[in-house]
Amino acid sequence: MDSLPYIAVLIAYGLVGAAHLLPGIVGERLKSRVRPIALTGVFLHAAALFLGVATIGGGTGFREALSALALGIMGAYVAAGRGRLSALGLLLAPLATVLLGIALVVPRHQVAALEHTPGVLPWLPIHLALVFFGLACFALSFALGALYLLVRRELKAKRFDRLGRLPSLEVLDSMQFRATLFGFVAMTLGIGVGGGIAAASLDVPWAWDPKVGFTALLWAWYGLALQLRIVAGWRGKWSALFAIVGFAAAMFSLVGFNFFFTGWHGYAG
């Protein structure tokens, strides 16, 4: 992973984050340039990640995993964050910046083992793409949920300073539902493909791995959130809380587990 383009990407994401967090100081100066900066960052990031992974030969380590998630999150911001929804940048841009920042400082490790099994290699990128797309959807769902709670709190407290500048409750709620749904579907498929890879490449049909277990829990959590929403009308605040807790757990799984546990997915080696 050649660091130079990544530093440029990091600066771009940092600027986008700063523009949202400090509208008076940074946002005022950048104005309409925020979106072009974010777009440039995303394209550069995608190119660097693709080239990096391609030249290493399918090698994917913890760095790449964090980097891919950061890319997914900024991709979600660029795709969804227009007009009033650009407030999503308040959460997504700093999150992507921090993730990419961690990616740049952690030591480099390889996930071994899997590349040696013939026939598995083409499925690995599909597994990873689905999982990271799913995670990016959950990140978007988390940011939408957090904004929902913010708008709700402002309205209930009768504070009108930000009226008309933040997205509406119903837009946040319906988008949050869709993001969760897409994330859940992608995760389901990603886990399915992962299971297939495991079955094909490991000697034992099922190897317990803390991350697999945790992911199963997470999957069930989002499944429950969707179920409650559709069947029992747990929309709005509840749906937002589910998304926030779910994503916080996912971040813990990705960052925390990798430092403390080992296993097939572990990078702690």
- Residues near other proteins (CB under 8 A) are 151, 155-156, 158, 160-161, 163-164, 166-171, 233-237
In whole angstroms, the minimum distance from the beta carbon of 247 to other proteins comes to: 22
C-beta closer to other proteins: residue 109 or 237: 237
| C-alpha dihedral (127, 133, 138, 139), degrees to nearest 10 | 130
Q: With respect to other proteins, which residue has the nearer C-beta, 105 or 232? A: 232
Q: 33 or 108: whose CB is closer to other proteins?
A: 33
Minimum distance, C-beta of residue 171 to other proteins, in the bound complex (Å): 4
Closer residue to other proteins, CB minimum distance, 23 or 269:
23
Nearest distance in Å: CB 164, other proteins: 6
151 vs 237: CA distance, rounded Å: 11
Q: What string of DSSP letters covers the chain? A: --HHHHHHHHHHHHHHHHHHH-IIIIIHHHGGGHHHHHHHHHHHHHHHHHHHHHHHTS---HHHHHHHHHHHHHHHHHHH--GGGGGGHHHHHHHHHHHHHHHHHSPP----SGGGSTTTTTHHHHHHHHHHHHHHHHHHHHHHHHHHHHHHHHHHTT--TTTTTSPPHHHHHHHHHHHHHHHHHHHHHHHHHHHHHHHHH-SSS----HHHHHHHHHHHHHHHHHHHHHHH---HHHHHHHHHHHHHHHHIIIIIHHHH--SSS----
Q: Which is nearer to other proteins, 163 or 200 (CB)?
A: 163
What is the distance between the alpha carbons of residues 149 and 75, in angstroms, rounded to a whole number? 23
CB nearer other proteins, residue 116 or residue 156: 156
Nearest CB to other proteins, comparing residues 152 and 211: 152
Q: How far apart are CB 236 and other proteins at their closest, in Å?
A: 6
- Beta carbon of residue 255, minimum distance to other proteins (angstroms, whole number): 33
The token duo for 219 is: 């999957």
| Residue among 239 and 258 whose Cβ is closer to other proteins | 239
Q: How far is the CB of 170 from other proteins (least distance, A)?
A: 5
Q: In angstroms, give the least distance from the CB of 160 to other proteins.
A: 5
Compute the residue count for the chain.
269
Q: Report in angstroms how near the CB of residue 31 gets to other proteins at its nearest.
A: 12
Q: 132: how many CB neighbours lie within 10 A of its CB?
A: 22
